[in-house]
């Protein structure tokens, strides 16, 4: 497998990244590696609103593998087959994400740069391939979602002080609120006194959770 590009996102760490693509409208951009930075390679791609990214779980590579995994969606205690999950711990560490293609710009030095939204990918992740999303064949309204649809997954209410609201740009705070509302904690952790930390852009975020609420304790520059 050849690395054709790298994606750059606002997620410097794994913890806190949305569990699926498209859940939070986070921006990112893709820069191609030579010789794949030829503008001809993306000719016509601008006509598509969404694209598939095939990428490497570069921070989750292992020499061994397990036939079963414990999805966070099931609380981290129930095991399912690895091929019935989207766990990063797979025989081949390959990820698949559908993202919105916002625009394509041709840079004089870098070649084509793809600007996307909704990526659930760590900053600097290698990209193996890019394919257009085809709604006529890939949007399956009748599809079943397995255990992912059987588990209640209500959004959390995010609570923070006016002091935090006044110290963080509105756009960043809105995105941070959306990220926290998805409850980034492992589902098997439920200690209301525990303070968690996650990174977004150059912000260090501290929060705790109790019941259906996320309490944003502190945001400061990293």
Question: Domains, the chain, ranges and CATH?
Answer: 5-138 (2.40.30.70), 157-221 (no CATH)
Question: pLDDT by residue (tens digit) across 92-118?
Answer: 999 999 999 999 999 999 999 999 999
> What pLDDT score was predicted for residue 3?
98
Residues in CB range of 197: below 8 A, 6 or more apart: 15, 204, 205, 206
pLDDT level of residue 153 (50, 70, 90 thresholds): low
- Could you give phi then psi for residue 136, rounded to 5 degrees? -65, -25
> What pLDDT score was predicted for residue 75?
67
For the cut 90, the answer to whether the pLDDT of residue 150 exceeds it is no
Higher pLDDT, 58 or 200: 200
Question: Do 209 and 186 form a contact (C-beta atoms < 8 A)?
Answer: no
Mean pLDDT for the chain? 91
User: What average pLDDT score do residues 158-186 get?
Assistant: 91
């Amino acid at each position: 497998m050849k690395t054709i590009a790298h994606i750059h996102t606002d997620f410097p760490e794994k913890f806190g990244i949305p569990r699926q693509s498209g859940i939070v409208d986070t921006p990112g951009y893709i820069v191609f590696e030579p010789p794949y930075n030829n503008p001809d390679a993306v000719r016509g791609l601008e006509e598509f609103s969404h694209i598939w990214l095939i990428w490497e779980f570069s921070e989750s590579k292992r020499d061994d593998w397990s036939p079963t995994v414990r999805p966070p969606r099931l609380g981290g205690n129930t095991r399912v087959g690895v091929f019935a999950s989207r766990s990063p711990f797979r025989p081949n560490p390959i990820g698949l994400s559908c993202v919105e293609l916002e625009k394509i710009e041709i840079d004089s030095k870098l070649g084509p740069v793809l600007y996307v939204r909704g990526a659930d990918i760590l900053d600097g992740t290698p990209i193996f391939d890019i394919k257009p999303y085809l709604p006529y064949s890939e949007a399956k309204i009748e599809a079943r979602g397995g255990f992912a649809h059987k588990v209640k997954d209500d959004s959390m209410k995010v609570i923070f002080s006016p002091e935090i609201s006044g110290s963080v740009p509105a756009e960043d705070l809105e995105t941070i609120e959306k990220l926290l509302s998805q409850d980034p904690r492992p589902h098997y952790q439920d200690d209301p006194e525990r303070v968690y930390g996650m990174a977004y852009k150059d912000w260090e975020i501290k929060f705790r959770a109790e019941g259906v609420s996320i309490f944003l304790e502190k945001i400061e520059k990293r």
